[in-house]
Amino acid sequence: MRITGSPNIQNVLKTYGKNVKKTEETEKTGFKSDKVEISSAARDYQVAMQALKEVPEVRSEKVNAIKEQISSGSYKPNAEQIADHILKGLTK
């Protein structure tokens, strides 16, 4: 049985040959290096985050001042202001 004269086999061989050529061309092009660019907004965000990390979580001067006022009995919080701040915190 001779299969080289079959047109179907010839079509398969042509298709295979095209795929091999494409693969060889891809290998010849080589690799391109990746490049990362950071936008100016991202840089601004990085600067802001760094500044935020440097701020202490607890403002000890303010805490100590309120502690002194409480211990001396002179701390008189305004109930309306407290309620306003609570409501503002809920709406954020």
Virtual torsion, Cα 20, 26, 30, 34, nearest 10 deg:
-140
Encode pLDDT of 24-76 as tens digits.
555 555 667 888 888 999 999 999 999 988 888 888 899 999 999 999 999 98
**Cα–Cα distances in angstroms (integers) from residue 41 to residues 38, 44, 45, 46, in the given order:** 8, 5, 6, 9
pTM of the complete model beyond 0.75? no
Which amino acid is it at 86? I
**DSSP assignment of 53-86:** HHS-SS-HHHHHHHHHHHHHT-----HHHHHHHH
